[in-house]
Amino acid sequence: MIMLILNPSIIVTMNRTMQIIKDGYLGIEEGAIVYLSDKKPSDCEDIIRLPGRVILPGFINTHTHVAMTLLRGLKDDVDLQTWLMKYILPVEKQLKPTDVYYGALHGIAEMIKSGTTTFMDMYYHEIEVAKAAADARIRAMLTYGSADVFFNVTPEEEFKKAKKFRDELQELISSRGLEDFLYFAYGPHSPYGCTKELLLLIREAANRDGSRIHIHLSETQSEVDESLKIRKMTPIEYLDSIGFLKNDVMAAHVVWPTDKDIDILCRRGTHVLHNPTSNLKLASGIAPIPKLLEKNVNVALATDGPASNNRLDMWKEITLAALIHKGFLRDPEAIPAETALKMATINGALALGLENRLGSLEIGKFADFIIINIKDALESTPFHDIYSMLVYALDSRYIESVWIHGDELYKKKGGFKTIDIDRTREKVEEIRNRLLTEAGVK
Amino acid sequence: MIMLILNPSIIVTMNRTMQIIKDGYLGIEEGAIVYLSDKKPSDCEDIIRLPGRVILPGFINTHTHVAMTLLRGLKDDVDLQTWLMKYILPVEKQLKPTDVYYGALHGIAEMIKSGTTTFMDMYYHEIEVAKAAADARIRAMLTYGSADVFFNVTPEEEFKKAKKFRDELQELISSRGLEDFLYFAYGPHSPYGCTKELLLLIREAANRDGSRIHIHLSETQSEVDESLKIRKMTPIEYLDSIGFLKNDVMAAHVVWPTDKDIDILCRRGTHVLHNPTSNLKLASGIAPIPKLLEKNVNVALATDGPASNNRLDMWKEITLAALIHKGFLRDPEAIPAETALKMATINGALALGLENRLGSLEIGKFADFIIINIKDALESTPFHDIYSMLVYALDSRYIESVWIHGDELYKKKGGFKTIDIDRTREKVEEIRNRLLTEAGVK
HEC-encoded secondary structure of chain A: CCCEEEEEEEEECCCCCCCEEECCEEEEECCEEEEEECCCCCCCCCEEEEEEEEEEECEEEEEECHHHHHHCCCCCCCCHHHHHHHHHHHHHCCCCHHHHHHHHHHHHHHHHHCCEEEEEEEECCHHHHHHHHHHHCCEEEEEEEECHHHHCCCHHHHHHHHHHHHHHHHHHHHHHCCCCCEEEEEEECCCCCCCHHHHHHHHHHHHHHCCEEEEEECCCHHHHHHHHHHHCCCHHHHHHHCCCCCCCEEEEECCCCCHHHHHHHHHHCCEEEECHHHHHHCCCCCCCHHHHHHCCCCEEECCCCHHHCCCCCHHHHHHHHHHHHHHHHCCCCCCCHHHHHHHHCHHHHHHHCCCCCCCCCCCCCECCEEEEEHHHCHHHCCCCCHHHHHHHHCCHHHEEEEEECCEEEEECCCEECCCCHHHHHHHHHHHHHHHHHHHCCC
Q: Per the CB < 8 Å rule, is B392 touching A73?
A: yes
**In angstroms, what separates the C-alpha of A314 from chain B's closest C-alpha?**
13
**In angstroms, what separates the C-alpha of A366 from chain B's closest C-alpha?**
27
Q: Which helix (H) or strand (E) holds B149?
A: helix B148-151
pLDDT band at residue B2 using 50, 70 and 90 as cut-offs: low
CA distance B403 to B52: 18
- Mean pLDDT calculated for residue range B24-45: 92
CA distance A145 to A123: 5
Within 8 A of B320 by CB-CB distance, chain A residues are 320, 323
Within 8 A of A377 by CB-CB distance, chain B residues are none
Give every CB contact of residue B125 below 8 A, 6+ residues apart in sequence: B67, B95, B96, B97, B100
- Mutate: best of A69, A70, A75, A76, partner B, most B CBs <10 A: A76
Asked if residue B218 has pLDDT above 70, the reply is: yes
Look at residue B85 in the predicted model and tell me its pLDDT. 87
The residue in chain A having the minimum alpha-carbon distance to the alpha carbon of residue B281 is A323
Within 8 A of B410 by CB-CB distance, chain A residues are none
Q: Per the CB < 8 Å rule, is A73 touching B393?
A: yes
CA distance B402 to B386: 19
- Mean pLDDT calculated for residue range B120-130: 97
**In angstroms, what separates the C-alpha of B56 from chain A's closest C-alpha?**
19
**In angstroms, what separates the C-alpha of A179 from chain B's closest C-alpha?**
29
Give percent above pLDDT 70 in chain B. 99
The residue in chain A having the minimum alpha-carbon distance to the alpha carbon of residue B327 is A280
Look at residue B141 in the predicted model and tell me its pLDDT. 98
Q: Which helix (H) or strand (E) holds B302?
A: none
Give me the residue from B80, B309, B330 closest to A332, CB to CB.
B80
Q: Per the CB < 8 Å rule, is B76 touching A330?
A: no
* Mean pLDDT of all residues belonging to chain A: 96
The residue in chain A having the minimum alpha-carbon distance to the alpha carbon of residue B333 is A77
Asked if residue A186 has pLDDT above 60, the reply is: yes
- Give the number of A-B residue pairs with CB atoms closer than 8 Å: 181
Asked if residue A1 has pLDDT above 60, the reply is: no
Which one-letter amino acid corresponds to residue B172? Answer: L
Nearest to B126 by CA among B102, B145, B103, B154: B145
Q: Per the CB < 8 Å rule, is A388 touching B73?
A: yes
Within 8 A of A279 by CB-CB distance, chain B residues are 327
Within 8 A of B309 by CB-CB distance, chain A residues are 392
Q: Per the CB < 8 Å rule, is A280 touching B323?
A: yes
**In angstroms, what separates the C-alpha of B168 from chain A's closest C-alpha?**
29
Within 8 A of A76 by CB-CB distance, chain B residues are 336-337, 385, 388, 392
Task: Print burial letters for A165-190: b (CB count within 10 Å at least 16), e (below 16).
Answer: bbebbeebbeeeebeebbbbbbbbbb
Terminal-to-terminal C-alpha distance of chain A: 59
Within 8 A of A329 by CB-CB distance, chain B residues are 283
Give me the residue from B113, B277, B388 closest to A76, CB to CB.
B388
Asked if residue B205 has pLDDT above 60, the reply is: yes
Tens digit of each residue's pLDDT (9 = 90 or more) over B130-157: 999 999 999 999 999 999 999 999 999 9
Tens digit of each residue's pLDDT (9 = 90 or more) over B230-255: 999 999 999 999 999 999 999 999 99
Nearest to B12 by CA among B257, B362, B272: B362
Question: Are A111 and A103 a contacting pair, CB within 8 Å?
Answer: no
Strand partners, B412: none
Give me the residue from B327, B333, B421 closest to A280, CB to CB.
B327
Q: Per the CB < 8 Å rule, is A381 touching B106?
A: yes
Q: Per the CB < 8 Å rule, is A279 touching B381?
A: no
The residue in chain B having the minimum alpha-carbon distance to the alpha carbon of residue A430 is B382
Within 8 A of B283 by CB-CB distance, chain A residues are 326-327, 329-332, 334
Within 8 A of A389 by CB-CB distance, chain B residues are 73
Within 8 A of A324 by CB-CB distance, chain B residues are 280, 324, 327
Cis amide linkage into residue A310, ω under 30° from 0: yes
The residue in chain B having the minimum alpha-carbon distance to the alpha carbon of residue A68 is B382
- Mutate: best of A381, A389, A410, partner B, most B CBs <10 A: A381
Look at residue A42 in the predicted model and tell me its pLDDT. 84
Nearest to B242 by CA among B300, B188, B163, B185: B188
The residue in chain B having the minimum alpha-carbon distance to the alpha carbon of residue A76 is B388
Q: Per the CB < 8 Å rule, is A79 touching B286?
A: no
**In angstroms, what separates the C-alpha of A198 from chain B's closest C-alpha?**
31
Within 8 A of A80 by CB-CB distance, chain B residues are 332
CA distance A233 to A224: 8
**In angstroms, what separates the C-alpha of A337 from chain B's closest C-alpha?**
7
Within 8 A of A277 by CB-CB distance, chain B residues are 323
Give me the residue from B78, B328, B381 closest to A425, CB to CB.
B381
Within 8 A of A330 by CB-CB distance, chain B residues are 221, 283-285
- Mean pLDDT calculated for residue range A61-87: 92
- Mutate: best of A224, A280, A317, partner B, most B CBs <10 A: A280
- Mutate: best of B69, B378, B434, partner A, most A CBs <10 A: B378
Question: Are A117 and A418 a contacting pair, CB within 8 Å?
Answer: no
Which one-letter amino acid corresponds to residue B340? Answer: A
Helix residue ranges, H only, B181-313: 196-209, 221-231, 235-241, 259-268, 276-281, 289-294
Tens digit of each residue's pLDDT (9 = 90 or more) over B305-334: 999 999 999 999 999 999 999 999 999 999
Asked if residue B353 has pLDDT above 80, the reply is: yes
CA distance A237 to A289: 19
Asked if residue A2 has pLDDT above 70, the reply is: no
**In angstroms, what separates the C-alpha of B391 from chain A's closest C-alpha?**
9
**In angstroms, what separates the C-alpha of A164 from chain B's closest C-alpha?**
31
Give percent above pLDDT 70 in chain A. 99
The residue in chain A having the minimum alpha-carbon distance to the alpha carbon of residue B111 is A378
Q: Per the CB < 8 Å rule, is A382 touching B72?
A: yes
Asked if residue B44 has pLDDT above 90, the reply is: no
**In angstroms, what separates the C-alpha of B432 from chain A's closest C-alpha?**
7
- Mean pLDDT calculated for residue range A37-64: 93
Nearest to A369 by CA among A339, A408, A331, A342: A408
Give every CB contact of residue A310 below 8 A, 6+ residues apart in sequence: A72, A73, A76, A281, B379, B388, B392, B393
Look at residue A423 in the predicted model and tell me its pLDDT. 97
Within 8 A of A309 by CB-CB distance, chain B residues are 392
Asked if residue B46 has pLDDT above 90, the reply is: no
pLDDT band at residue A202 using 50, 70 and 90 as cut-offs: very high
* Mean pLDDT of all residues belonging to chain B: 96
CA distance B43 to B37: 14
Look at residue A82 in the predicted model and tell me its pLDDT. 87
**In angstroms, what separates the C-alpha of B294 from chain A's closest C-alpha?**
16
CA distance A435 to A88: 11
CA distance B394 to B403: 19
Look at residue A441 in the predicted model and tell me its pLDDT. 83
Q: Per the CB < 8 Å rule, is B332 touching A428?
A: no
**In angstroms, what separates the C-alpha of A439 from chain B's closest C-alpha?**
15
Cis amide linkage into residue A382, ω under 30° from 0: yes
